[in-house]
Structure 1
Amino acid sequence: MIPRFGEPPRVDVRYRMRPGAYAVLLRGDRMLITYQEEPDDEFQLPGGGIDPGESPVSALHREVYEETGWTMSAPRRLGAFRRFVFMPEYDMWAEKLCTIYLARPAHRIGPPTEAGHSAHWVTVEAAVELLGNAGDRHFAGLFLR
């Protein structure tokens, strides 16, 4: 069974499945996270939706680069969780199936290419405090020392 974090699903809403891939990117005791200005300003694990025909790992590489400006290597699946949310940028209610990977940050190519994102190196402890959703905090917390 895949754990759920956040609000329970509403009975008056039809949800659309939205699979996504997200990365815990560690270098020593620091974690690379992304800050997204809109639609809700928050810190997040880098990652996002898997496009039709795209593999989860391909989506992960693309999303990490778009949101952080970094490439990554050696992704290894850690687990998954579900969230039931409204996504204003798509005007839809989504059941987000978030698959989390552990990966190594490889090279910084430049700034994030996705508008409204910025990359931040923080301690694992700070990431657990800053991340905007409980599922992200849970997986970051696996690396507390």
Structure 2
Amino acid sequence: MIRRFGEPVRADIQYRRRPGVYAILRHGDRLLLTHQDAPVPEFQLPGGGIDPGESPIHALHREAWEETGWRIEITRRLGAFRRFTYMPEYEYWAEKVCTVYLARPVRRLGPPSEPGHQAVWMPIAQAARELGNPGDRHFVERLL
């Protein structure tokens, strides 16, 4: 059973399953996060949805590059969690199945290519408080 974080499941909503992959990008005592401006400004672990026909590992490399501008090296899978949430950018309710990996940034390739994203370095303890969703915070707290 995968642990659930966030809002309770609502019986009146039909959720669309959306698998995704996310990275805790650690360098020493800091993490490389992404700050997303919209729909709600928040700090996030870099990552996102897995496109049809795409492997999770390829998706994680793509998403990390789009949201931070960095090439990464994946160390290991840490676990997974579920969130039930509305995704305004796609206009549907989703059951997000989020797999989290530990990785490290290895080379900055440029600025984030994803509109509305900014790469931000943050101390681990601060990230554990400021990340926008409780699933992300849970996995970062485990590093502490």
Question: TM bucket by the smaller chain?
Answer: over 0.9
Q: Is the 8 A contact 2:32 2:119 kept in 1?
A: yes
Is the Cα–Cα contact under 8 Å of residues 74 and 101 in structure 2 kept in the other structure?
A: no
2:18 matched residue in structure 1: 18
1:118 corresponds to 2:113: no
Q: Indicate if the aligned counterparts of 2:3 and 2:80 stay in contact, CA closer than 8 A.
A: yes
Q: In structure 2, what is the Cα distance between the partners aligned to 1:9 and 1:61?
A: 30
Q: TM-score, normalised by structure 1?
A: 0.98
3-state SS in 1 of match to 2:25: strand
* Separation in structure 2 between the aligned mates of residue 32 and residue 87 of structure 1, nearest angstrom: 24
| SS of equivalent residue, structure 1 residue 4 | strand
Q: Between Structure 1 and Structure 2, how many residues are aligned?
A: 144
Q: 1:110-130 CA distances to partner (integer Å, 9 max, x unpaired)?
A: 110000000011100010111
In 1, the alpha carbon distance for the partners of 2:25 and 2:139 equals 11
- The gaps in structure 2 that reach 5 residues or longer are none
What CA distance in whole angstroms lies between the structure 2 residues aligned with 1:108 and 1:52?
A: 27
The answer (yes or no) to whether the contact 1:15–1:94 under 8 Å persists in 2 is: yes
For 2:109 and 2:142, locate their aligned partners in 1 and report how far apart those are by CA, in whole Å: 28
Write the distance in 2 (CA, Å) between the matches of 1:52 and 1:116: 24
Distance 2:24 2:130 in 1: 14
Check the 8 A contact 1:30/1:122 in 2, yes or no: yes
Q: What percent identity do the matched residue pairs reach?
A: 64
TM (norm. structure 2) is 0.98
1:88-141 deviations in whole A, cap 9, x for unaligned?
A: 110000000000000111100111000000001110001011100000000011
Unaligned runs of 5+ in 1: none
Q: Hey, what's the Cα distance between the residues in 2 that align with 1:74 and 1:5?
A: 24
2:47 maps to 47
Tell me, yes or no, if the aligned pair for 2:80 and 2:100 is still in contact at 8 Å.
yes
Could you tell me how far apart the structure 2 residues matched to 1:75 and 1:100 are? Answer: 11
Q: Which runs of 4+ in 1 moved over 2 A?
A: none
Instruction: Tell me the residue number matched to 2:103.
Output: 103
